[in-house]
């Protein structure tokens, strides 16, 4: 028998007898790289880049769109497209159940959001992968939406910009998913024939059929720091060939060194550099920025 027993009410009070208050969930965020604890609102304001080690944490698609497009210019398109189940695919659970769960948790735009907007005053046809929707996997709907980004750029004579973050083709749609590699690449070729620019931004991770098609076909290919970009993952490659891989293999810095990327752009500089590139590629004039008039000092106020 225990010598003493703590009353349950005592567990709910602090040292001075006041009721304990629980810490709101999500108030603080811990950096995956350096372990720094940051107030979540401050981290979001810094585009989820660690203020200490500059580690780029995963960024929700809605936040990325807001950080990239000019305010009040984004017009979402193709929201009526929904994935079907032509193969009636079942693994641990039916594909249709996975889709219902993904739509409920990640939104109703599948793994890709497309639309029209402006970046630093330059009109663009843009698309953003939503990695939170089934790992950004590319099925028939995603392939159709990417194709429409290029086709809409042709119709409106705008440059195209696509942010890619994907685990590759969606296995539940089989060969119908793999067909999207050819479909999107053909649409990108028509854009090139029309001499309209296409900027591809590859994020962490960009792999599989997405990396093997339109993601690496940009006139300019940008990447965020330390982004993993490649067809098969490094672990799969190492197990297949039975050899150790070079240090940093398939990371953005490795690809830049070997000529697969044009530039690595930190997230906090992405919008500005996209604006500069779009003006260079389209010949758009520099944007006139209105300077705010100096505010009078408190002593000078009437």
Q: Domains along the chain?
A: 27-57 (no CATH), 59-282 (3.90.226.10)
Residue for token pair 């929700």: 60
Q: Identify the band that residue 124 occupies on the pLDDT scale cut at 50, 70 and 90.
A: very high
Tokens 């059929």 locate to: 209
150, 119 in Cβ contact below 8 A?
A: no
What is the average pLDDT across 115-129?
A: 97
Token pair, residue 132, equals 């939170």
In the chain, count H helices and then E strands. Answer: 10, 10
On the question of pLDDT at 269 being above 90, the answer is yes
pLDDT band at 7, cuts 50/70/90?
low
- Residue 299: is its pLDDT beyond 60? no
Q: How far is CA 296 from CA 185, 291, 301, in A?
A: 56, 15, 6
Q: Give the residue ranges of DSSP H helices in 5-128.
A: 8-11, 40-45, 61-68, 95-106
pLDDT at 288 over 70: no
Under the phi-then-psi rule, with left for phi > 0, alpha for psi from -120 to 50, and beta for the rest, what region is 72?
left
What's the residue count for the chain?
A: 302
> Nearest to residue 114, comparing CAs of 102, 128, 132?
128
């Amino acid at each position: 028998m225990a010598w003493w027993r703590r009353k349950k009410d005592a567990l709910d009070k602090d040292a001075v007898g006041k009721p304990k208050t629980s810490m709101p969930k999500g108030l603080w965020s811990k950096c995956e790289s350096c372990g720094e604890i940051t107030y979540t609102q401050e981290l979001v304001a810094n585009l989820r880049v660690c203020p200490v080690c500059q580690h780029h944490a995963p960024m929700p698609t809605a936040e990325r769109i807001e950080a990239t497009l000019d305010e009040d210019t984004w017009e979402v398109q193709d929201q009526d497209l929904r994935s079907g189940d032509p193969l009636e695919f079942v693994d641990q659970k039916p594909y249709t159940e996975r889709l219902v769960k993904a739509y409920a948790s990640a939104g109703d735009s599948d793994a890709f959001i497309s639309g029209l907007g402006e970046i630093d005053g330059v009109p663009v046809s843009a698309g953003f992968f939503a990695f939170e929707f089934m790992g950004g996997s590319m099925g028939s709907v995603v392939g159709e939406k990417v194709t429409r980004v290029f086709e809409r750029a042709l119709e409106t004579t705008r440059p195209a910009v696509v942010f890619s973050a994907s685990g590759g083709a969606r296995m539940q749609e089989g060969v119908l998913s793999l067909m999207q590699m050819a479909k999107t690449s053909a649409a990108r070729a028509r854009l090139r024939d029309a001499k309209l620019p296409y900027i591809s931004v590859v994020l962490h991770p960009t792999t599989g059929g997405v990396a093997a098609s339109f993601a690496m076909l940009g006139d300019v290919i940008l990447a965020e720091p330390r982004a993993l970009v490649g067809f098969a993952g490094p672990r799969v490659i190492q197990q297949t060939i039975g050899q150790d891989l070079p240090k940093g293999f398939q990371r953005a810095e490795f690809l830049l060194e070997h000529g697969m990327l044009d530039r690595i752009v930190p997230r906090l500089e992405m919008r500005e550099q996209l604006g500069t590139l779009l003006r260079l590629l389209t010949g758009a004039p520099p944007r006139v920025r209105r300077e705010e008039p100096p505010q009078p000092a408190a002593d000078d106020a009437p």
